[in-house]
Amino acid sequence: MNHPNICFTYLDHKTNKYTESDLTVEGFIQKFIDHIPDVNFRMIRYYGFLSNRVRGKLLPKVRQLLGQNDNSESTVNQPTYAQLIFKDFGVNPLDCILCGAELKLSGSLFGKTSAFELVRHHRQLALLKKII
């Protein structure tokens, strides 16, 4: 049985504009279910020092009591893509698989590019490096 699509409008907080979306019934229900909290899950972002009404006033005091400065979020060192890949797979993705040299971004390919074309391009660059 073919179900009709559900068309709805929502506020996109990234662009601050209303966006229209058209989903299948199953897709809409899945997105709707994602917003339902688990059993016994407490929604705390609206209570205490995180509530909208007092967050600006109380959150700096909480950070001060915890010994955190106001820029503590910006000073956290986020791991890079290469560090995460190396940690999980033991391979540095910035090293050439053919010659071992450090890879540098030389351009971007857009559109429908097959993996075979990317490998061929990679091999040509590696062979060019060996000649130079």
Measured distance CA(58)–CA(64) in Å, rounded = 10
- 55 & 106 share domain: no
Which residue segment(s) compose the domain that 98 sits in?
Answer: 81-131
Domain membership of residue 23 (yes or no) is yes
Q: Over the stretch 77-107, which tens digit does the pLDDT of each residue have?
A: 788 888 888 888 888 888 887 888 888 877 6
pLDDT at position 45 is 66
| Assigned domain for 73 exists | no
Distance CA 28, CA 115 (A): 34
Domain-ending residue, one of 65, 92, 110? 65
Q: What is the pTM of this model?
A: 0.32
Distance CA(122)–CA(106), nearest Å, equals 11
Q: How far apart are CA 21 and CA 7, in angstroms?
A: 6
Please, what sign has the CA dihedral across residues 85, 90, 95, 97?
negative
CB-CB contact of 23 with 33 (8 Å):
no
Whether 72 maps to a domain, the answer reads no
Residues 82, 94 contacting (CB under 8 angstroms): yes
Q: List, for residues 41-76, the tens digit of each pLDDT value.
A: 777 666 788 788 888 898 889 888 988 875 545 556
- C-beta separation of 5 from 22 below 8 A: yes
Is the same domain home to 47 and 96? no
Same domain, 60 and 85: no
In the chain, the number of structural domains is 2
Residues 85 and 57 in one domain: no
Domain-located, residue 118: yes
Domain-embedded: residue 75:
no
In whole angstroms, what is the distance from residue 90 CA to residue 47 CA?
Answer: 43
Query: Which of 65, 100, 116 is the last residue before a domain boundary?
Result: 65
Q: How far apart are CA 21 and CA 1, in angstroms?
A: 22
CA dist 96 and 68 (Å) reads: 41
